[in-house]
DNA sequence: AATGGAGACAACCGCATCTGC
DNA sequence: CGCAGATGCGGTTGTCTCCAT
């Protein structure tokens, strides 16, 4: 038996992406929007499989991605969300709109795991081990119950009216949604090109082997779009994405930043949709905030869990 | 200056889930 | 309802960079 491979293994390029490939992919997505990944390699001539294209876009090229160090705030959120959701990185990432699931997963595996282990060793039994009393199984089950409940509510139109910032994209016809996506892409085309240019100028990383030809070909490719790039902006790193799509997420005003997160998610739905399924159901922000940042996080976690169970009890 | 090890991160692989027919 | 193709997700691997020796 066996499932056929997602693409012909013959003639498919693997390994790190070159800037040229990035440009081709970004240009294509600017024009057509993300999605229909199957057709991307054939339409662009990229010798990559569709999966690889999607991954490259969602994890690296997609606008709005924040790169670089995680803040304490983000770190805390990841730790707590991981405690609640387990290794459901996509779900965790949906609470951190600027981070990809891959980023979070990597950060967890390389930094936080060790950090927590150290903490655990130091505290020996209390601390994090105490705040994580339940097995991953149970946590997952509870999350699933919540998701199922939400889905059922939506299906039956039983749920309460939503707050404006949580307009469900599911209620919007796919075509309409895509139209708005396309327009956003058109307006951000120049930005993406600029950013890629900056990225080329500043990043020491991407395939140094072909840097010369790459740079010149990039200049050619980007010539039109990059003409308006100003000096101040070009000083940015790959994180140049930040300057265009950033929002303040300082620790001092968590509540505000969380709300802004929500707004960003909605307003730039386009930026989120590909990697953050619109079906993703979020716990109300206020409760989440409380849970994340309250000293008595454990208590709030119980509230969350109870909410799931209690609410589910009424339904099932 | 050379080298080996560790850390960090991008990308791949395979299974799960979704969706359209 | 079942099937096949498309897409999403999480675990894992490969490679690059940095640092200590």
Tens digit of pLDDT for each residue in A209-225?
333 333 333 344 433 33
How do residues A164-213 score in pLDDT, each as one tens digit?
Answer: 333 333 333 333 333 333 333 333 344 444 555 554 444 433 333 333 33
**Residue A275 scores a pLDDT above 70:** no
Count the neighbouring beta carbons within 10 Å of the beta carbon of residue A38: 15
Nearest Cα to Cα of residue A82 among A148, A150, A128? A128
Residues 18-77 of chain A sitting with CB below 7 angstroms of strand C: 35-38, 50-51, 54-55
How do residues A122-169 score in pLDDT, each as one tens digit?
Answer: 665 444 443 443 444 445 555 555 554 554 454 444 444 333 333 333
SS3 content of chain A, % helix, strand, coil (to 5): 70, 0, 30
User: What nucleotides of chain B have any atom within 7 angstroms of a protein Cβ?
Assistant: 7-15, 20
Measuring from the CA of residue A39 to each C1', which nucleotide is nearest?
A: C6
Is strand B in 7 Å reach of the CB of A59? yes
The mean per-residue pLDDT over the stretch A3-12 comes to 55
**Residue A33 scores a pLDDT above 70:** yes
Put simply, whether the predicted model's pTM sits higher than 0.75 gets the answer no
**Residue A4 scores a pLDDT above 70:** no
Is strand B in 7 Å reach of the CB of A306? no
Is strand B in 7 Å reach of the CB of A16? yes
With cut-offs at 50, 70 and 90, classify the pLDDT of residue A90: confident
Q: How far is CA A57 from CA A9, A51, A130, A215, A259, in A?
A: 20, 10, 39, 21, 26
Question: How far, in Å, is the CA of A294 from the C1' of nucleotide C12?
Answer: 35
Is strand B in 7 Å reach of the CB of A88? no
User: What nucleotides of chain C have any atom within 7 angstroms of a protein Cβ?
Assistant: 5-12, 15-18
Question: How far, in Å, is the CA of A288 from the C1' of nucleotide C8?
Answer: 25
Question: How far, in Å, is the CA of A267 from the C1' of nucleotide C13?
Answer: 37
Across all residues in chain A, what is the average pLDDT? 57
**Residue A118 scores a pLDDT above 50:** yes
d(CA A230, CA A70): 28
The residue among A23 and A7 whose pLDDT is bigger is A23
Is strand C in 7 Å reach of the CB of A211? no
Is strand C in 7 Å reach of the CB of A286? no
Q: For the CA atoms of chain A, what is the radius of gyration? A: 21
Mapping DSSP onto H, E and C, the string for A172-232 reads CCHHHHHHHHHHHHHHHHHHHHHHHHHHHHHCCCCCHHHHHHHHHHHHHHHHHHHCCCCHH
- Asked whether the beta carbons of A82 and A116 are under 8 A apart, the reply is no
The mean per-residue pLDDT over the stretch A246-266 comes to 39
What's the confidence (pLDDT) of residue A3?
37
Is strand B in 7 Å reach of the CB of A74? no
The residue among A288 and A20 whose pLDDT is bigger is A20
Question: How far, in Å, is the CA of A122 from the C1' of nucleotide C18?
Answer: 28
The residue among A126 and A94 whose pLDDT is bigger is A94
How do residues A44-83 score in pLDDT, each as one tens digit?
Answer: 888 888 889 988 888 888 888 888 788 888 888 888 888 8
């Amino acid at each position: 038996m066996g499932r056929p491979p997602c693409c012909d293994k013959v003639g498919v390029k693997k390994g790190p992406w070159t800037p040229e490939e990035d440009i081709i992919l970004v240009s294509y997505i600017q024009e057509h929007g993300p999605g229909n990944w199957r057709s991307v390699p054939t339409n662009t001539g990229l010798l990559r499989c569709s999966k690889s294209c999607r991954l490259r876009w969602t994890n690296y090229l997609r606008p709005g991605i924040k790169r670089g160090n995680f803040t304490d705030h983000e770190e805390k959120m990841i730790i707590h969300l991981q405690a609640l959701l387990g290794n459901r990185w996509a779900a965790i990432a949906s609470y951190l709109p600027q981070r990809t699931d891959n980023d979070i997963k990597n950060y967890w595996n390389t930094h936080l795991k060790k950090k927590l282990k150290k903490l655990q060793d130091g505290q020996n039994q209390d601390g994090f081990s105490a705040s994580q009393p339940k097995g991953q199984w149970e946590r997952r089950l509870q999350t699933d119950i919540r998701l199922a409940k939400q889905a059922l509510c939506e299906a039956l139109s039983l749920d309460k009216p939503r707050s404006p910032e949580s307009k469900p994209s599911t209620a919007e016809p796919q075509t309409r949604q895509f139209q708005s996506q396309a327009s956003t892409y058109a307006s951000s085309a120049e930005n993406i090109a600029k950013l890629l240019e900056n990225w080329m100028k500043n990043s020491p990383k991407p395939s140094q082997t072909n840097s010369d030809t790459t740079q010149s070909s990039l200049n050619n490719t980007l010539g039109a779009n990059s003409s308006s790039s100003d000096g101040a902006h070009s000083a940015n790193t790959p994180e140049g994405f930040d300057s265009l799509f950033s929002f303040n997420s300082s620790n001092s005003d968590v509540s505000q930043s969380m709300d802004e997160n929500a707004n960003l998610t909605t307003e730039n739905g386009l930026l989120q949709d590909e990697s953050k399924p619109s079906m993703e159901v979020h716990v109300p922000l206020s409760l989440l905030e409380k849970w994340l940042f309250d000293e008595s996080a454990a208590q709030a976690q119980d509230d969350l869990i109870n909410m799931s169970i209690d609410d589910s009890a009424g339904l099932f």
